[in-house]
Amino acid sequence: MKLLVIGGGITGLAAAWEAVRSTEHGPVEVVVAEASDRWGGKLRTEHTDGLLIEHGPDSFVAYRPAALTLIDELGLADQVISVSGTRTVFLRSRGRLHPLPAGMGMVLPTRLWPFVTTGILSWADKLRAGIDLLLPRQLQDDTDVTIGAFLRARLGNGIVQRFADPMIGGIYGASVNELSLDAVLPSLRTDELAHRSLMLASLAAGRKARTSGTRGANSPFRTLRGGLGSMIDALVTQLTAAGAELRLNSAVAALSPTAGATEVRFVDGATETFDAVIFAAGARASAALLADSAPAAAAALSDIPLATSTVLALAYPATAFATPVTTHGWLEADPAPISGITVSSAKWAGRAPDDVVLIRAFVPGRLGPIADADDDELVAAVSAHVGEVLGATTPPTQVRVARWPHVMPKYTVGHRDRVAAVETALAALPQWRVAGSPLRGVGVPDCVADGRRQAALALAAACDLADHRGADNRVFNQGSRQ
Ligand X SMILES: Cc1cc2nc3c(=O)[nH]c(=O)nc-3n(C[C@H](O)[C@H](O)[C@H](O)COP(=O)(O)OP(=O)(O)OC[C@H]3O[C@@H](n4cnc5c(N)ncnc54)[C@H](O)[C@@H]3O)c2cc1C
Rounded to the nearest whole angstrom, what is the least distance from the CB of residue 257 to ligand X in the complex? 17
Comparing C-alpha atoms, which of 408, 331, 382 is closest to residue 173? 408
Contact with ligand X (CB under 6 A) among 4, 8, 169, 385:
8
Binding positions for ligand X, 447-466, rule CB under 6 A: 447
Contact with ligand X (CB under 6 A) among 281, 283, 312, 359:
281
Q: Would you count residue 342 as binding ligand X (CB under 6 A)?
A: no
Rounded to the nearest whole angstrom, what is the least distance from the CB of residue 227 to ligand X in the complex? 12
Contact with ligand X (CB under 6 A) among 74, 235, 280, 357:
280
Rounded to the nearest whole angstrom, what is the least distance from the CB of residue 444 to ligand X in the complex? 4
Contacts of 209 (CB under 8 A, 6+ apart): 110, 215
Contact with ligand X (CB under 6 A) among 17, 60, 150, 172:
60
Contact with ligand X (CB under 6 A) among 425, 442, 458, 459:
442
Closest residue (Cβ) to ligand X? 41
Look at strands 276-279 and 271-274 and give their pairing.
Answer: unpaired
Binding positions for ligand X, 15-44, rule CB under 6 A: 33-36, 41-43
Rounded to the nearest whole angstrom, what is the least distance from the CB of residue 213 to ligand X in the complex? 26
Binding positions for ligand X, 214-243, rule CB under 6 A: none
Closer residue to ligand X, CB minimum distance, 206 or 282: 282
Q: Would you count residue 390 as binding ligand X (CB under 6 A)?
A: no
Q: Would you count residue 365 as binding ligand X (CB under 6 A)?
A: no
Rounded to the nearest whole angstrom, what is the least distance from the CB of residue 209 to ligand X in the complex? 23
**Do the Cβ atoms of 432 and 276 come closer than 8 Å?**
yes
Closer residue to ligand X, CB minimum distance, 204 or 251: 251
Q: Would you count residue 10 as binding ligand X (CB under 6 A)?
A: yes
Number of residues that bind ligand X (CB under 6 A): 36
Binding positions for ligand X, 411-440, rule CB under 6 A: 436-437
Rounded to the nearest whole angstrom, what is the least distance from the CB of residue 62 to ligand X in the complex? 11
Closer residue to ligand X, CB minimum distance, 202 or 310: 310
Closer residue to ligand X, CB minimum distance, 57 or 158: 57
Binding positions for ligand X, 291-330, rule CB under 6 A: 309, 311
Residues 92, 327: Cα–Cα separation, whole Å:
13
Q: Would you count residue 166 as binding ligand X (CB under 6 A)?
A: no
Rounded to the nearest whole angstrom, what is the least distance from the CB of residue 11 to ligand X in the complex? 3
Stretch that binds ligand X, among 50-58, 135-143, 156-164, 189-197 (CB under 6 A): 50-58
Contact with ligand X (CB under 6 A) among 408, 448, 463, 466:
408
Residues 312, 384: Cα–Cα separation, whole Å:
13
Q: Would you count residue 58 as binding ligand X (CB under 6 A)?
A: yes
Q: Would you count residue 348 as binding ligand X (CB under 6 A)?
A: no
Contact with ligand X (CB under 6 A) among 12, 229, 365, 387:
12
Contact with ligand X (CB under 6 A) among 66, 203, 255, 285:
285
Q: Would you count residue 148 as binding ligand X (CB under 6 A)?
A: no
Closer residue to ligand X, CB minimum distance, 146 or 309: 309
Contact with ligand X (CB under 6 A) among 390, 443, 463, 466:
443
Rounded to the nearest whole angstrom, what is the least distance from the CB of residue 5 to ligand X in the complex? 9
Rounded to the nearest whole angstrom, what is the least distance from the CB of residue 437 to ligand X in the complex? 4
In b/e form, how buried is each residue of 388-415, taking b as 16+ CB within 10 angstroms? ebbebeeebebbbbbebeebbbbbbbbb
Rounded to the nearest whole angstrom, what is the least distance from the CB of residue 143 to ligand X in the complex? 27
Residues 133, 125: Cα–Cα separation, whole Å:
14
Residues 53, 98: Cα–Cα separation, whole Å:
27
Closer residue to ligand X, CB minimum distance, 206 or 409: 409
Q: Would you count residue 175 as binding ligand X (CB under 6 A)?
A: no
3-state secondary structure labels for all residues of the chain: CEEEEECCEHHHHHHHHHHHHCCCCCCCEEEEECCCCCCECCCCEEEECCEEEECCCCCEECCCCHHHHHHHHCCCHHHEEECCCCCCEEEEECCEEEECCCCECCCCECCHHHHHHCCCCCHHHHHHHHHHHCCCCCCCCCCCCEHHHHHHHHHCHHHHHHHHHHHHHHHHCCCCCCEEHHHHCHHHHHHHHHHCCHHHHHHHHHHHHHHHCCCCCCCCEEEECCCCHHHHHHHHHHHHHCCCEEECCCCEEEEEECCCCEEEEECCCCEEEECEEEECCCHHHHHHHHCCCCHHHHHHHHCCCEEEEEEEEEEEEHHHECCCCCCCEEEECCCCCCCEEEEHHHHCCCCCCCCEEEEEEEEEHHHCHHHHCCHHHHHHHHHHHHHHHHCECCCCCEEEEEEEEEEEECCECCHHHHHHHHHHHCCCCCCEEECCHHHHCCCHHHHHHHHHHHHHHHHHHHHHHHHHHHHHHHHHHHHHHC
Residues 283, 143: Cα–Cα separation, whole Å:
25
Interface residue list for ligand X (CB under 6 A):
6-12, 33-36, 41-43, 56-60, 251-252, 280-282, 285, 309, 311, 404, 407-408, 436-437, 442-444, 447
